[in-house]
Amino acid sequence: MKTVLSGVALTVSLIGAAGCGVAEKPPVRPPVNVVTPDKIIIPGGVDFQGRCDTRVFNEDLTGGTCDSKIDLVAACKFDHRKDEDEKRKVVEFVLRDKGNPKSGVCLDSRRESFGGISDMSGYCAETYAKGDRGKAVAELDGDTWLCRERLDVTALCIEDNNDSRLKAERLGSGLWQCYRYEPA
């Protein structure tokens, strides 16, 4: 009797596996007024170092910054451009107190002072952020002056992929991804 029952069970399972004898219900169609989920389009990641070019990229939770050491003579020339003339040009930046990076003065060729740099952040904004003071600032890191340009990750996604519909999201891995939704 045991043999007959196991044979019957084997036959029933083979019929079920072959799709015979068991009627499947057709898939349920959603009602007409139900919205289908959008499709996610992911063109890729974000090229921070490409944006920073030769500057240093420093990552943080909001994206990061492109940092570069400030050319202090160039910052002097920017800050004192109205004071220069044909006879008197900024040629040097020196610290009056070697231990104090805030004690610098701009000098001409005769070593006469134009004064210090009063608008270091203006120099950074003009040089790295097309004049946008909200995006680039001057900061002192130890005894080194840096220009820091804050990166807008969504703007990088849009610019890199030429798609104004893109957004940016930081993934659990710490990497950034560009994406947009498209109706399915």
For 101-122, what is each residue's pLDDT tens digit? Answer: 999 999 999 999 999 999 999 9
The confidence score (pLDDT) of residue 62 equals 82
Please, what's the largest Cα pairwise distance for the chain?
117
Residue 170 lies in a domain: no
Q: Round the CA-based radius of gyration of the chain to a whole number and report it.
A: 33
Residue 76 lies in a domain: yes
The confidence score (pLDDT) of residue 30 equals 56
Residue 67 lies in a domain: yes
Q: What percent of the chain has pLDDT over 70?
A: 80
Residue 65 lies in a domain: yes
Residue 72 lies in a domain: yes
CA 145 → CA 34, 68, 82, 95, distances in Å? 58, 9, 23, 13
Q: Which domain holds residue 133?
A: 55-151
Q: Which of 48, 97, 72 is nearest to 147 (CA)?
A: 72
pLDDT less than 50: residues of the chain:
1-23
CB 180 within 8 A of CB 163: yes
**How many folded domains does the chain comprise?**
1
Residue 111 lies in a domain: yes
